[in-house]
Amino acid sequence: MNGKYDILFLGTPFIDGHYDSVQDAYEAKETHVKNFPNIDFAIVKTIHEIRLGKNIFWIPNKAEIEAFNKGRTPSESKEI
């Protein structure tokens, strides 16, 4: 069964993903760990095609992720 590998930003609704190999996903995860040390990450293999819309893809939500990393909840970052 083919699939892609996604990285979950645990504690948030955000995802980075659709990596073809688990090695690529681990390399990307290491970058996220360096940039967001207070967030835990998990690599998962998807078995169904999912669309990473801008409501869950991490890049359009980087400000919320940065706020969460600093100890605030994502909803609090919108109040600034």
Mean pLDDT of 12-39: 96
Mean pLDDT of 40-64: 91
pTM of the predicted model over 0.75: yes
pLDDT at residue 48, rounded to an integer: 79
Structure tokens at 75: 């909803």
Per-residue burial over 45-73, b = 16 or more CB atoms within 10 Å of its CB, e = otherwise: eeeeeeeeeeebebeebeebbebbbeeee
Q: How many domains does the chain have?
A: 1
Mean pLDDT of 13-23: 94
pLDDT at residue 47, rounded to an integer: 84
Q: Which domain holds residue 65?
A: 4-77
77 falls in which pLDDT band (50, 70, 90)? very low
